[in-house]
Structure 1
């Protein structure tokens, strides 16, 4: 088979990256598909025409950052509205080295502990 044959090119591509394509076999946290990521982006794709004109590049960058935060919260089973409200209320009082505590997965653990103690 010629090296220019599309099948040979695809096989060579796979063979050069075999460890990447088979990593899911040894690492159970890796999903076989990107369906979860596509579902998370579905709302953004559906609204693309409405958001085409964000006002400016900076506005588009801010919108992208907000979508990233909201999707991160959802992927960690955190209510984005409650999380953002709490983070915005507390962010000025937290020193830079502790900002990681406001990330959705840390926030969820902290609020779960507080709710368990209160119950």
Structure 2
């Protein structure tokens, strides 16, 4: 491929395709060598799209701090969904823990991926 690439004009359509392959060669080799690696990132992009859309929608909340708060809550809800956690149960338990005085230095315990529902 390197030999053919050296004989093709970089500005030609074929040259552009060779340049693209060259830029992504390491990733292609990783994909070919490790069967766990996906050929594209569509699966991950589809998982995070609702989070990004909710954050974008927060731009229209009418007030800067309201938009930031909406973005935070939306991110927590979508992250809970991705992790298979029921959002209402998660938010209810989290707000109850905060109201009971959950320590600030242990806020990471309240993130969706650490949530353990009382019935589980």
1:13, distance to aligned residue in structure 2 (A): 3.4
Q: Write the deviation string for residues 56-113 of structure 1: whole angstroms up to 9, x where unpaired.
A: 3333332222221111000010001110111112135232332221121211xx33xx
1:31–1:79 distance in 2 versus 1, CA, 3 Å: farther
1:61 has 2:65 as partner: no
Alignment-derived partner of residue 115 in structure 1: 119
SS at match of 1:28: coil
1:102–1:42 distance in 2 versus 1, CA, 3 Å: closer
1:24, distance to aligned residue in structure 2 (A): 4.9
Q: Which runs of 5+ in 2 are unaligned?
A: 1-7
1:12–1:51 distance in 2 versus 1, CA, 3 Å: same
Higher mean C-alpha displacement, 14-23 vs 74-83: 14-23
Runs of 4+ that moved beyond 4 A: 21-25, 42-45
Within 5 Å, which residues of 2 pair with 1:1-119? 1-21=8-28, 23-24=30-31, 26=34, 28=36, 32-35=40-43, 37-38=45-46, 41=49, 53-91=60-98, 93-107=101-115, 110-111=116-117, 114-116=118-120
Larger radius of gyration: 2
Higher mean C-alpha displacement, 25-34 vs 88-97: 25-34
Q: Distance in 2 between matches of 1:70 and 1:41?
A: 13
Root mean square deviation of aligned Cα: 3.5
